[in-house]
Chains A and B, each alone.
Chain A
Amino acid sequence: MSDDGSLFMLALGPAGGSALYWFLYRYYRNTDKSHDFEHETAVVAKPVTGSEAKVGDVKGTREKRISGDNVHEFRQRVQRIRDDTGRTTSDKGSG
């Protein structure tokens, strides 16, 4: 077996143990739960509009996803563009 494979096998114990710990901890304490207001509130939306333009390409990356992928992280705030003065602020944190 290769070195990579051996390391992977040896990591199985600590990884399995801590995975079990966090799984049980969350099951008891439910610290990861909150109101799913994005989906549990009545929202009536008009069809989504928008634009897209190719701006470049990536060759030979080993990453499976775009860096900083946040398409499913609805509550992760990004740079907020304000109306009033046109100034921008960077709001971080989760709601």
Chain B
Amino acid sequence: MSTTNNPPPVPPYTGPGSPQDVPPPKGASPIDPATLPKPIRDELQAPDPVAIDTSAAELKDGLNHCPKCGATDVRQKAGTDLLICQFCRHEWNAQRVEEEFGLGEGIDKLEGTVIASGARDIAADAVNMMTFKCTGCGAEVTVNTESAMTARCHWCRHVFGVNEQVSNGAVPDAVLPFHIKKEDAVARIRQFVDKRRLFALKAFKQEFTPENVGGVYLPYMIVDGNVSADIAGKGEIKTREYTSGSGNNKTTYYDADVYKVARHVDFTIDDLPLESSKARGNLDTKTNTNNIINTILPFDTKNAVKWNASYLLGMSSEKRDQNVEQLRPHLEDELLSVARAQVEKSVNKYDRGVRWESEHLSVHGTRWVSMYLPVWLYSYHQPGANGGMLHYIAVNGRTGETMGSVPVQQWKLLLAAITVGTVLETLAIYILAVTA
């Protein structure tokens, strides 16, 4: 950036309280707060960030019973948000978290950091493998929460779901069930690829089987925020435009007034999705195609329902591995981008543009809810240097928005480019020769 008055770099932050030091255990204080002056004591003893409790007491045992007959063979009715009992065909609706926990309300009054119980920090000693004792027959059933949230007892066929909020980050506050059916997703992927066949990698085309698409629930943090931003820089307004020289040697010159511009905006943001898996959050297009999955955002997160593992039957899931504090720099970066977009119209009169030089963000309050969002994912591994490249074609499991990365056959693409370049060049030489 072309800031001219950058201060000298800040020395690395070391010493007590720096990120390099081992933090003290939670809640511990080297000094008894009672001995401190009242204002400090009040601060120390003020309540910690509020956690909304979204864990459901009725699902604690891992068995998800039909409210009518008590059977555990419960799954999502395809294409709807309803749950259906496979035994007695009873259907019922899960509660939407939006109303249940009041998540859409009071964003403009948010203060501090409010974290829903499923978005709490992941415990360091948390394990991925969870073992349940089947209440039907007493057998032990293991669920690997890294990739699945349900399992069936191999003895008595009871269906288990990880419903209690274990501290390994695998159980979110809410889940947005799939609406787009598999056949629909396959058709969309086929349609997407059919438009990109000419220069596609030969092996990709030969192995293309969209029926292999898999439904996966990916972990996101859905964030509400109440923020203010200040942006400052220089803007120019054209005052005169004139041309000097003649014939082919004409040059256009501009005169302009330079202004110092500052803008302030207060705004609230509702349901901003952030990838809460470290691998998915890396959007470096040189090494991966995660930007494809990022592109199919947003989802209608307002319709998310309270966590229930039955929605995940037959689908795989990816575990969250990022906590609120790890995602905060990313959030602030996105909030600054939103602020810059908000002030864009207010500087329209600077017809020669604006060079923003400094920005400042005050985050008054944020609310974090962890959520599983539904994605149909088709992948193709292209061999190559450094492990090759994994190409994704992704379909939003709610809106059907489709985006993908189709590997290209480089020589074909180069040949096409060189051919067109040669034709243009021949034309150019011909015109030059004629006019000379």
Q: Are B420 and A48 closer than 8 Å at their CB atoms?
A: no
- Verify if B263 is at the interface (C-beta below 8 Å from A): yes
Residues of B within 8 A of A (CB): 1-3, 6-7, 9-10, 107-108, 196, 199-200, 230, 233-236, 239, 247-249, 251-273, 283, 285, 289, 291-292, 294-298, 330, 333-334, 336-338, 340-347, 350, 352-362, 403-408, 413-414, 416-418, 420-422, 424-429, 431-432, 435-436
Give Cα A83–Cα B230 distance, bound, in whole angstroms: 11
Given contacts A14-B421, A67-B2, contact A60 B291 (CB under 8 A): no
| A95 contacts across to B, CB distance below 8 A | 330, 333-334, 336-337
Other-chain residue from B108, B247, B259, B334 in contact with A44 (beta carbon distance below 8 A):
B108
Smallest Cβ-Cβ distance to A46: which chain B residue: B266
Mostly, the A contact residues are mixed
Chain A residues within CB distance 8 Å of chain B: 1-2, 4-6, 9-10, 12-14, 16-18, 20-21, 24-25, 27-31, 33-35, 37-46, 48-72, 74-83, 87-92, 95
- Nearest-neighbour CB distance to chain A for B107, whole angstroms, equals 8
Q: Find chain B residues with CB under 8 A from A46 CB.
A: 265-267
CB distance from A16 to the nearest CB of B (A): 4
- 14 A-B contact pairs sorted by A residue (CB < 8 Å): A17-B424, A21-B414, A27-B196, A33-B292, A35-B273, A37-B338, A41-B270, A52-B261, A55-B260, A63-B254, A66-B353, A66-B354, A71-B350, A80-B358
A43–B253 CB distance below 8 A:
no
- Chain B positions within 8 Å of A91 at CB level: 333
Q: In the assembled complex, how far is the CB of residue A14 from the closest CB belonging to chain B, in whole angstroms?
A: 6
- Could you say which of B200, B256, B291 contacts A28, with CB atoms under 8 Å apart? B200
Q: Are B1 and A79 in contact (CB under 8 A)?
A: yes
Q: Are B435 and A74 in contact (CB under 8 A)?
A: no
Q: Bound state CA distance, A12 and B344, in angstroms?
A: 35
Contacts of A54 in B (CB 8 A): 257-260
Residues of B close to A83: CB separation below 8 A: 360, 362
Residues of B within 8 A of A13 (CB): 421-422, 424-426, 428
A87's closest neighbor in chain B, by CB? B10
